[in-house]
Amino acid sequence: MIDVEAMPYLAQIPGVQAARRPGEVALWFEGRATSFADLEKHANQVANGLLGLGVKPGERIGYLAKNTDVYYEMLFGAAKVRAVMNGVNTRLAAPEVKFILSDAKAAVLFVGKEFYAMIDTIKAELPDLKRIITIDGDREDWDFYPSWRNSKSAADPGIKAEGADDVIQLYTSGTTGLPKGVQLTNENYRAFFAQAKLLEWSSYGAGEAVMNAMPLFHVAGVNVGILAAAQGAKTVILREIDPQVILKLIPEHKIAHAFWVPAVILMLTQQANIRDVDFSSLKQVFYGASPISEALLRTAVELTGARFTQLYGLTETVGAGTFLPPEAHDPAWGKLRSCGVPWPGAVVRVVDGEGKPVPTGDVGEIVIKAGFVMKGYWNRADATKEAVRDGFFYTGDAGYFDEDGFLFIHDRVKDMIVSGGENVYPAEVENAIFGAPGVADVAVIGVPDEKWGEAVKAIVVRKPGEAPTPESIIAWAKERIAAYKAPKTVDFIDALPRNPSGKILRKDLRESYWKGMTRRVG
């Protein structure tokens, strides 16, 4: 259980745990174990290193690397000097990374070797960047993280954190194609902790092992390690998803809790050796980002013997909102298509276009009010005002409550596509495809996909006399946006359906692909 009074803010977590269990393992990564005492020491060294670089309260610290244990040293170190950790999506293209680092005015960037070449191409256009520090070395012109960290004082800098301080900034795609920085504060996390300690899925025993396989540019990935550290548990971190590594680590570390998206659960069930794995330590699997099929769920429960909990939330709500408890995963309940019931301290409603609650069973927009709703979008006052009204965050998802108080997602108010847990906005993909040789018009929609929930499909109108191929269009898009946003398939059509004002009727385009599906999102 989380001791919220002793650790009200992120900055206090490593120090409290270092005092209570100094020699116990806090982080494990590819054979390297970090004790709670070392986590506190390293976080202090990072904090003093940032102070030495002139980092001031509120400044953003960039992280562009695959998952590593040192991320949490940087996160807690930044919190100790009231700076803000800004994990950058590692799947983005160089122009997208440049936009995020520029928008955040990142003062320091921690970067992994896979992204050195990318940063070389954009660093001249990042005037706010004071220092680049490599996680993997091999660059004489940039600092090497272990050497940089170890040269700093291990004394706590003694800076008092404040509740309104931003501690994490993660970027979510915008409908116009411009990502927005979500400001998550100490108070947001304090509210999150107060709620999490009341729920089974987020309650870890001291010394238990928790698997962190989600990317650290996602709120779910960040939260797994924070929740584990706050409860004295061991976080076992994977650099990236590898089903065989996951299956190996479960018995090796006696993993008790794990967050996996349904696509990862599917991968695991398809491994030939899965029935040879000892799952006896695994108590809980919590999942989100997309629903799970009943058949896959039954298979996963039978193979692992774990209790499953579905989570629904957004970056703007620290990943919190509703949860489908393990008992409701019994098919007899009839709730497997639901994303559950609200967290104890959250108000979740379904409202009409005027913000008024709709009757039970009627579809409307899902809104959430709680202490964990974000402060706002960084430097986007208008977008914040639109998204947060009277304390309620407007999710853009449409759904309904049944008579038992369970929330069901029906469709999207906005046109966002969720593919494998990644948000993709059609306008951004369409902008990348426009200009491709032979393309006269294009619309992008999400279509059902067994593995990813939804897959990105482009529907293209060819220019007269020209014959672009699906392959050429996909390749064109991948040169301009991240590969995961690019269409997986391309269909051709004579003309796109539009309303009188010229807006594309995406609902009409989606209809034939989703016909017969009871749920219109992945």
Sheet (strand 453-462) strand order:
439-449, 453-462, 489-492
pLDDT score recorded for residue 388? 97
Q: What is the mean pLDDT of residues 476-482?
A: 91
Reference 435, options 484, 489, 473, 466; nearest CA is 473
Distance between terminal CA atoms of the chain? Answer: 33
pLDDT greater than 60 at residue 520: no
pLDDT score recorded for residue 175? 46
Read off the pLDDT band of 418 (50, 70, 90). Answer: confident
Lowest mean pLDDT among 28-37, 335-344, 420-429: 420-429
| Alpha helices, H only, 235-342 | 243-253, 262-269, 294-304
pTM equals 0.85
Q: How far is CA 228 from CA 224, 235, 318, in A?
A: 6, 6, 16
User: What is the C-alpha to C-alpha distance for residues 70 and 64, in angstroms, rounded to an integer?
Assistant: 12
Q: Kindly state the tokens that stand for 412.
A: 């999207």
Read off the pLDDT band of 412 (50, 70, 90). Answer: low
pLDDT score recorded for residue 499? 64
pLDDT in tens, 38-70: 999 999 999 999 999 999 999 999 999 999 999
pLDDT in tens, 204-239: 999 999 999 999 999 999 999 999 999 999 999 999
Scored b (16 or more CB within 10 A) or e, 117-148 reads: ebbeebbeebeebebbbbbeeebeebbbbeeb
Q: What is the mean pLDDT of residues 479-485?
A: 90
What is the overall mean pLDDT for the chain? Answer: 92
Reference 104, options 62, 54, 146; nearest CA is 62
101 Cβ contact list (under 8 Å, min separation 6): 62, 86, 88, 109, 122, 126, 129
pLDDT in tens, 432-461: 898 799 998 899 999 988 888 889 999 999
pLDDT score recorded for residue 86? 98
Reference 393, options 476, 276, 313; nearest CA is 313
Q: How far is CA 520 from CA 170, 402, 415, in A?
A: 27, 17, 11
229 Cβ contact list (under 8 Å, min separation 6): 13, 14, 17, 26, 36, 39, 72, 235
Domains contained in the chain, CATH given: 10-240 (3.40.50.12780), 348-412 (2.30.38.10), 417-514 (3.30.300.30)
User: What is the C-alpha to C-alpha distance for residues 185 and 189, in angstroms, rounded to an integer?
Assistant: 6
- Give rounded-to-5 percent helix, strand, coil for the chain: 30, 25, 40
pLDDT score recorded for residue 290? 61
Asked if 141 contacts 151 with a C-beta cutoff of 8 angstroms, the reply is: no
pLDDT greater than 70 at residue 102: yes
Q: What is the mean pLDDT of residues 426-434?
A: 83
Q: What is the mean pLDDT of residues 476-487?
A: 92
User: What is the C-alpha to C-alpha distance for residues 241 and 514, in angstroms, rounded to an integer?
Assistant: 29
CB atoms inside a 10 Å sphere around CB 13: 30
pLDDT score recorded for residue 291? 58
User: What is the C-alpha to C-alpha distance for residues 26 and 172, in angstroms, rounded to an integer?
Assistant: 29
Return the DSSP state at 176.
T
421 Cβ contact list (under 8 Å, min separation 6): 218, 261, 263, 288, 289, 290
Read off the pLDDT band of 430 (50, 70, 90). Answer: confident
pLDDT score recorded for residue 260? 93
pLDDT in tens, 239-269: 999 999 999 999 999 999 999 988 789 889 9
pLDDT in tens, 150-205: 999 999 999 999 999 999 999 986 545 578 999 999 999 999 999 998 999 999 99
Beta bridge partners of 160: none
pLDDT greater than 90 at residue 427: no
Read off the pLDDT band of 89 (50, 70, 90). Answer: very high
pLDDT score recorded for residue 415? 73
Asked if 376 contacts 340 with a C-beta cutoff of 8 angstroms, the reply is: no
pLDDT greater than 80 at residue 503: no
The single residue listed with the structure tokens 């039978």 is 302
pLDDT greater than 60 at residue 82: yes
pLDDT score recorded for residue 289? 66
pLDDT score recorded for residue 522? 46
